[in-house]
Amino acid sequence: MGVLSIFILSKAGGLIYHKDFGFGLKKLNNSNDYLVIAGTFHSVHALTTRVNPLNTHSSGLLTMEMETCTLHCLQTLTGLKFVVVTDNNQSNVSVVSSTIYEIYSDYVMKNPFYTLDMPIRCHKFDRALNQYISTVE
C-alpha cells in the first residue's frame, strides 16, 4: 500500500489527526510521541522557510526522503498542514494530499459537532479517508 501514515496539523502546529494505514506498522510507545512529532515538524517546517538564501519566495519543506519512505507536506493558505508518509514508489502524492484536503473540507468542516483546531473525531471522515486511501495504488 502506497500511503503509510497521515498527520494533520492545525495552524498553531498542534496534531489534530493521525492515522496509520496498512498492517503490521510500528506504533510509537506513547501517544504523546505523536504530538511531539507534530509540534517538532511544525517548527522544522517554519525553519525551512528561512533557509533559502535566494531572493525568491520559499515554500518551506515539501518532501523529506528517507531510505524506505518519503514524507510529503501540503501547507494550505489557511495554515493547515497535511503530512503524508508514503513508500518511495508512490507517485502523484500531490493529488493524494489535495484529495485528503477535500475530504477534510467535507466531513470535518461541515460537521456541526467539530470545533476548529481541535482533534478530529468524526467517524464519517475516518470512513471516507479509509475508502479513499484503499483506492490509492
In the complex, which residues of this chain contact other proteins (CB under 8 A)? 11, 45-46, 48-49, 57-60, 75-80, 98, 101-102, 104-107, 109-114, 116, 121-125, 127
Q: Which of 72, 65, 19, 69 is nearest to 45 (CA)?
A: 72
In whole angstroms, how close is the CB of 28 to other proteins at the nearest point? 25
Q: Could you tell me the smallest distance in angstroms from the CB atom of residue 69 to other proteins?
A: 23
- Quote the least distance from Cβ 67 to other proteins, whole Å: 26
Smallest gap from Cβ 38 to other proteins, in A, equals 15
CA 95 to chain centre: 13
Q: Which is nearer to other proteins, 56 or 68 (CB)?
A: 56
Q: CA distances (Å), 90 to each of 18, 50, 103, 116, in order?
A: 19, 28, 20, 31
Cβ atoms of 9 and 81 closer than 8 Å: yes
Q: Which is nearer to other proteins, 26 or 123 (CB)?
A: 123
Nearest Cα to Cα of residue 78 among 16, 8, 10: 10
> Which residues make beta-bridge pairs with 84?
6, 72
Q: In angstroms, give the least distance from the CB of 111 to other proteins.
A: 5
Place of cell 514508489: 89
Q: 23 vs 113, which CB is nearer to other proteins?
A: 113
Counted residue by residue, the chain has a size of 137
